[in-house]
A and B are shown apart, each in its own frame.
Chain A
Amino acid sequence: MSPFHHFMKRVVITGMGIYSVIGKNLGEVKESLSMGRSGVVLDPVRKEMGFRSALTGMVERPQLKGILDRRMRVGMAVQGEYAYIATLEALKGAGIDQDFLDRNEVGILYGNDSSAVPVVESVDILREKKDTMMIGSGYIFQSMNSTVSMNLSVIFRLRGINFTVAGACASGSHAIGLGYLLIKQGLQDIIICGGAQEINPESTASFDALNAFSTRESDPTRASRPFDRDRDGLVPSGGAASVILESYESAMTRGANILGEVVGYGFSSNGEHISLPNVEGPRKAMQMALKDSGMDPGDMDYINAHATSTLAGDSNEAQAIDDVFGKTKPPVSSTKSMTGHEMWMGGASEVVYSMLMMQHSFIAPNINFEQPDEVTSRLNIIPATTPAEIHAFLSNSFGFGGTNSALVIRRFSR
C-alpha cells in the first residue's frame, strides 16, 4: 500500500441507473441477469441496408416529451436520452435531487465514442437543401462525441468537472476510473460517471464491414456466446448506465446509502494492432487494478469479463485472466452473452450488472457457453445462474487501439 494511501479519499458508489436491452431499470435488469435473458434480436432494417449481420441488441427509445422541455430535447441524440433515464435513476437512488445539485458542486464524466445519426441526417439535409441554415439548431449538440456530458450537465445544472471520455469499447470503464481518481485525489466530491451507446444501423455499418459480427441470424439469442468454442463474432448493442461516485466523507455527511467502494483502476495500451487485442495489455491493466486495490487475485469473488464473443478477443482475454488468476480460478462470466456488446457503454453497465450481483448474491450466467476451446477451458466460466457471496469483483473493458481498463470494486465496510 502506498505511503500516501491514508491521505487519499475513499471512493464509494451511492447510486446506479441503467437503461439497457435487458431492462429499462435496475429491477428489470436484475431479473434478466438472474434469468439469463437475452436482449438480442434480428433487425430486418439492417438486412435491407446491406448488413452482413442484422443481429443487434434493441431497446425502445425513451419518450421525453412532457418530461424535458424542447430546448433540452433537441440537442440530445438517442444515447443521451438513454443516459438521461439512467442518470435519473442513479441520482434518485443516491438521494440527490435538483436542489442538492444546485447547492453543491457535482461533476460528470461519461463514456461515449460516436454519434452517427445526427451527422448523417444533418449532412443529408445539407446535400438536399444546399443551405446550412436548413439544418436547425439541434444537430450540432447531438453530433459531437461529448453530446451526452454536454446535455446532461445542462439539464442537471452541474458545475463540477464536465467532459466525455472516448476510449472505444473501454469508454465507460475509463470514465469510472477517471472519476475514481479525481475523487480519490480530493478534487471532486461527487461525479456522475457512466457510459452510453447509440443503437442504430448508421453507427454500426462500418463495424459490420470488419466481419466482426456474429452471423448466427437464425438464432439471435444464441448468437452472442463469449468463450464458447463455436463463437463467431460479437453482437452490437447499446443503452446507457450511470453510477454516482462519491467521496466517503460526502456520502457520510449526506447519510447516503453506500452500495460499494471503488478500490482499484488499472489501465494500459497494447501498442500494437488497431483492432486485434493482445494478452499483455489486458494482463497489465488487471495487475495494476489489483495492485491499486491492495487486494490479491484470490480476493476476487467474480470477474466480469470483457469477452465479446470474438475468436481472438475472448481467447486472449482468457489467457490474460488465467495468467493473473490461474491459481485461484475465480468465477468468470461475460454478461455480453445476454446484452450483446454495449461498446462505449459496456464498461459502465458491466459495473452496474456486477454490483447487482454483489447486492443480490448471485453470479449472472455466461449464457450460450456450451463447449470451451483449448484456452477458455482454463477459466472457471459460469454457464448458469449461481448463488454466490461476492465481496469483491474485477471488471474488464478493452477497446480498439489497444486501450484497456480494469476496475476493482468491493463491498463497503468501515
Chain B
Amino acid sequence: MQNDEIINKINQLLIEEIEIDEEQIRQDADLKRDLGIDSLDFVDLFVIIENNFGFKMKAEEMTDVTTLQDFYSYVIKRVNPN
C-alpha cells in the first residue's frame, strides 16, 4: 500500500468510524487536544487499525505519537517496514 493511500485510508476511518469532523483533519492536529481522541477512542482505534491494516497496535510503540502526522508515520512504518 502506497503512503498516500495509507494516509487517505486513515483519514477516512477517522471521519467515518471515530466521527471526527473532516475540517479538523490536519497533519499537525494533536490527537487528544485537537481531535478529542481519548483513551477509550484509542481502544476502538486498535480494532479499526487491525481490521483495516492487519496489524496490532502496541501501546509501548505509541508513546511518541501525539499528532496526526506521528500517527500516519507510525502506521506507514508498520504497514511498509522497509
Contacts and interface: CB of A to CB of B under 8 A. Distances in A.
A69 B18 CA distance: 10
A135 B51 CA distance: 12
Interface of B: 18-19, 38, 40-41, 43-44, 46-47, 50, 56
* Secondary structure type dominating chain A contacts: helix
Interface in A59-78: 69-71, 74
A136 B47 contact: yes
B56 A137 contact: no
A209 interface: no
Contact of B50 (A69, A74, A134, A138): A134
Contacts of A135: 47
Interface of A: 69-71, 74, 131, 133-138
A133 B19 contact: no
B19 to A, nearest CB: 4
Contacts of A134: 46-47, 50
Contact of A133 (B18, B38, B40, B47): B47
* Secondary structure type dominating chain B contacts: helix
A133 B46 contact: yes
Contacts, number: 25
Contacts of A131: 56
**Which of A74, A136, A137, A138 counts the most B-chain CB atoms under 10 A from its CB?**
A137
A241 B23 CA distance: 39
Contacts of B47: 133-136
Contacts of A138: 44
Given A131-B56, A133-B56, A137-B44, A70 B19 contact: yes
Given A70-B18, A138-B44, 7 more contacts: A74-B44, A131-B56, A133-B46, A133-B56, A134-B46, A136-B47, A137-B41
A136 B19 contact: no
A137 B43 CA distance: 6
Q: Give the top 5 A-B pairs by smallest Cβ distance, nearest first.
A: A137-B43, A137-B40, A70-B19, A136-B47, A137-B44
B41 A71 contact: yes
A379 to B, nearest CB: 52
A136 B50 contact: no
17 contacts: A69-B19, A70-B18, A70-B19, A71-B41, A74-B44, A133-B43, A133-B46, A133-B47, A133-B56, A134-B46, A134-B50, A135-B47, A136-B44, A136-B47, A137-B41, A137-B43, A137-B44
A133 B56 CA distance: 9
A136 B43 contact: yes
A393 B50 CA distance: 57
Nearest to A75: B40
A135 B40 CA distance: 12
Contacts of A70: 18-19
Nearest to A138: B44
Contacts of B38: 71
